[in-house]
Copies of this chain bind each other. A is one copy, B any other.
Amino acid sequence: MQLLSQPVTSEIFTDHESEVRSYCRSWPAVFSRAKGVWLTDVDGRRYLDFFAGAGALNYGHNNPALKGPLLEYLARDGITHSLDMYTEAKGEFLTSFQELILDPRGLDYKVQFPGPTGTNAVEAALKLARKVTGRESIISFTNAFHGMTLGSLSVTGNSMKRAGAGVPLVHATPMPFDNYFGGVVEDFHWFERVLDDSGSGLNRPAAVIVETVQGEGGVNVARAEWLRALAELCRRREILLIVDDVQMGCGRTGTFFSFEEAGIVPDIVTLSKSIGGYGMPLALTLIRPDLDVWGPGEHNGTFRGNNPAFITGAAALREYWSDDTLARDVVATGDRIATAFTEMGETHRGLSHRGRGMVRGLVFDDAPAAAGVCAAAFDAGLLVETSGPSDEVVKLLPPLTIGADDLDVGLTVLAQAVDEVLA
């Protein structure tokens, strides 16, 4: 591709792009093309991608099963942009989602297209929960991540990102996520107590918003029994339960929705990242039908109807969710990663791991070592990132479709990086 008179170099970005840029500081290559789990930069160097667009590329880069329908759709001048008008592509997506995802799981949700990003989906969920209940307050959890717009940021834990708001973040109260006290304190001890106590000073919440596995927060996994107890608590107190499945949905944990294992049915669910299948912006807010009290246009947005994403999203559902092959693969691959992590832990002190399905974290007692491992991995051609409040966790989010060989290559590189850093 000869788009510019000059090749693209990193100077273009350091000269013209805002200081807010972030991942490019860890991975300063200029990427050009990608296929499956592999990226190639402008110098022809190849990188194995264990980050997958922070979970937006669960089916890998430029997956052929999605690319075909996309190219065909664009070639035939299918509608690209449609606000919230009815389109063939949107109808196909809705039908596929109903038939392949909701119906088989016995789930009954109305689908809102709240704008094409996760934070749009979260903002819509919070607005609706407040509208339905007439209450302002939301319960979030320690180390939660829900997005960067003002409503979502209020329920996000990270202090650096919160400080960016420039206004005090209110109407949200954090509660301890599962295992926050290392098992010492009983689940919901604090939360239940302050809900029950009319003198506690807690504003009665409209909703609880929870991730079943906190990706940005450090791969913190909520146990199924904790999630069930939370759902039960919400039900008893007439508090809505919102599961933010933006990162953990679309199969990341081994089932389409991450909450399936726990057997709970949230009142509202948010989806984004991999729901468009091809890295295309798309997001959904799923709403228990009796809660769908929106007025027409009460929440809107220009890019609610990103039809190319409907096409690739529907194709992904057909390709990967017509049976349970992918789901079983995810579990198996996750186990394989866990095994590798266990071995690393046996070799080195100060190293533990956690995760579920194909979201896995390698936890370093010495927090800075995690960044060191990521840097060493990048030098060896592997993209992995840190997470957690002290960036103490190396987080793995490989494409769910990764083959065993590529997985082993990546895990070997990672093990070497760990050896190098912890030596």
Contacts and interface: CB of A to CB of B under 8 A. Distances in A.
A266 interface: no
A301 interface: yes
A90 B303 CA distance: 20
Give the one of A95, A157, A302 with max B CB within 10 A.
A302
Interface stretch (A186-194, A254-262, A340-348, A402-410): A186-194
Contact of A168 (B55, B143, B170, B272): B170
A150 interface: yes
B165 A78 contact: no
Contacts of A152: 149
A77 B33 contact: yes
A185 interface: yes
Interface in A136-188: 136-137, 140-144, 147-152, 154-174, 176, 180-181, 184-186
A94 B77 CA distance: 27
Interface in A275-326: 278-281, 285, 287, 292-303, 306, 308, 314
Contact of A117 (B1, B28, B94, B301): B301
Given A34-B77, A120-B119, A168-B170, A198 B16 contact: no
Nearest to A174: B201
Interface stretch (A5-13, A227-235, A352-360): A5-13
A71 interface: yes
